[in-house]
Structure 1
């Protein structure tokens, strides 16, 4: 139950992130500003975790954090932000989080030889069918989809899935992983952002900057990453990532009052299919039953 609560918190924050980010990148701010606020503020807030922890991180763990930052840090945020800019909040929230558990399950099966079970495979299939129907319904209702936006969101989903599988085997705590992702992403991006003249913060209102600073720097870089990592540790990567596929449902509902993006009837049906797939894919794998005492005694010489 604790794992489901952590995953639910992640879903809520992630879903709101698609709406909040779409709100700004279609106005004065650009994806560079959103990225700088997210990792710059996150790095400042979480830096004490790296410097004043109970133990010092080893060189291997710092390198591990750099890998995580390349998977779920700067490149991931830029890919999703590009998808948001070229599509819509509903579509972006439908594609990236929905494909992530499918990629995670497939990668775990191919590279880690993990058996997913018939129910999970049926869940993954339902998620894919729901996603295809959702995109098709969106095309008929809102027009064609930018191919570059679709590729960017699919790439983000694959990177997110790889990060999830790697973190399960990490010795880092959820907070340490979040701190390293923000630190390395800030080191890699902020010099380019500052000296490359990419900032448009002066053109945005103080309220918009404040909203992005809190949501990107505090909720996304701190609370969301930690809560998602906790859900992975408690539920396992397959179940935790499957629950993340509920993000499009929450994001589509939130986009109605905030952005005025009303889903079509076909998209609503597709969302229901995705929910059904999530319920199947999130079921824990069955464990082999232990032999009974009587059976053990009967076969003992």
Structure 2
């Protein structure tokens, strides 16, 4: 396969995993697996796989720096506990709106607050579109249920703040993908598992072994390791903008799939929120500009050859 075709294959793999994350995280509630338990499974399995690899490669020196510890606290422990808890309160479509839809915005705000990174015109356009979508959605929801937003929505938005901050710090500190992935997984295990074992409630006995195995392998192997590596491979072959734009569609597709698959409702208010947040997060006008720039470049190259 050509590098371009390989890039699309890696994009497809990433989309399948990221989309499945929404569905399977929502299934935790139906399978009686608590947020505390799924986080413990995720961190334990990732640790058991990655730590031996680092030891064999004699590549543990980077773990003793402060950066992996801070990233693990924010993008590992805090993010996972928040997002897994949110799925217990609201349908999967709300994750696409308040988590995936808000992550680009929260990333931009975190960059401005922490490192004075200015907003560009694309961020301002996204902000206006997202605010209008959320206002329209809240008005419709209040008319229907007299409640605009719930606890799950707030938790998803908090998770978007965690992930946005994590993204900005990761970019600022310039850790490699391998070091970032390994450091977050290993330090999350070291920090969280003793607290889980000593102080937090455990309900593993309420779930079947099959369900625990499915969730543990998916979240500990596919989400932490495979999706990270496939996403990086896609960026290397297609570029950050194209790969990121396509992959961002996954959670929104999963929200639609969850309607028949999980028998979840999809009201007019939620549809409005999905459409508005999808447009704000994907920024389709940048895609059109990107395509126009590519067409112009190809035309110039053709003229030079002639």
TM range (shorter): 0.7 to 0.9
| 1:24 corresponds to 2:13 | no
> Which of residues 265, 270, 276 in structure 1 aligns to 2:268?
265
Give the alignment's Cα RMSD to 1 decimal.
3.4
Shift of 1:183: 0.9
SS in 2 for 1:85: coil
How many residues were matched structurally? Answer: 285
Which one of the candidate residues 168, 173, 179 is aligned to 1:170? Answer: 173
Distance 1:108 1:171, change over 3 A: closer
Aligned: 1:96 with 2:68:
no
* Paired position in structure 2 for 1:73: 76
Q: Distance in 2 between matches of 1:203 and 1:248?
A: 28
Taking structure 2 as the reference length, the TM-score comes to 0.77
Residue pairs, 1:35-46, within 5 angstroms: 35-46=39-50
C-alpha displacement at 1:212, in angstroms? 0.5
Q: Which moved more, 1:49-58 or 1:35-44?
A: 49-58
C-alpha separation between the residues in 2 aligned to 1:5 and 1:113? Answer: 37
> What is residue 298 of structure 1 aligned with on the other side?
none
- In structure 1, runs of 5+ residues without a counterpart are 288-301
Report what 2:127 is aligned to: 124
Distance change >3 Å, CA 40–CA 117, structure 1 → 2:
same
Change (3 A) 1:19 1:185: same
Q: How far 1:230 sits from its partner (Å)?
A: 6.2
Q: Give the aligned partner of residue 302 of structure 2.
A: none
The CA deviation string for residues 100-159 of structure 1, in whole angstroms up to 9 with x for no partner, is: 100112333454444543234212322333344445555556773664333322221111
8 Å Cα contact 1:87/1:145 also seen in 2 = no
Question: Out of 47, 51, 54, which is 1:47 matched to?
Answer: 51
In the TM superposition, 1:1-301 aligns within 5 A as 9-53=13-57, 55-58=59-62, 62-134=65-137, 136-137=139-140, 144=147, 147-196=150-199, 198-228=201-231, 246-280=249-283, 283=286
More helix by share: 2
**Secondary structure of 2:32's aligned partner:** coil
Q: Indicate the larger mover: 73-82 or 191-200.
A: 191-200
CA contact (8 A) 2:138 2:149 kept: no
Give the superposition deviation at 1:170.
3.4
Match in the other structure for 1:291: none
Q: Structure 2: which 5+ runs fail to align?
A: 294-306
8 A Cα contact 1:97 1:157, kept in partner? yes
Contact 1:123 1:281 survives alignment (8 Å): no
Q: Does the Cα contact within 8 Å between 1:141 and 1:264 map onto a contact in 2?
A: no
CA distance in 2, matches of 1:220, 1:59: 21
Q: CA deviation at 1:6?
A: 5.7
Q: Structure 1 residue 95: deviation in Å?
A: 0.5
Shift of 1:272: 2.5
User: Are the structure 2 counterparts of residues 59 and 245 from structure 1 closer, same or farther at C-alpha, using a change threshold of 3 Å?
Assistant: closer
Instruction: Rate the CA distance shift 1:203–1:67 in 2: closer, same or farther, 3 A.
Output: same
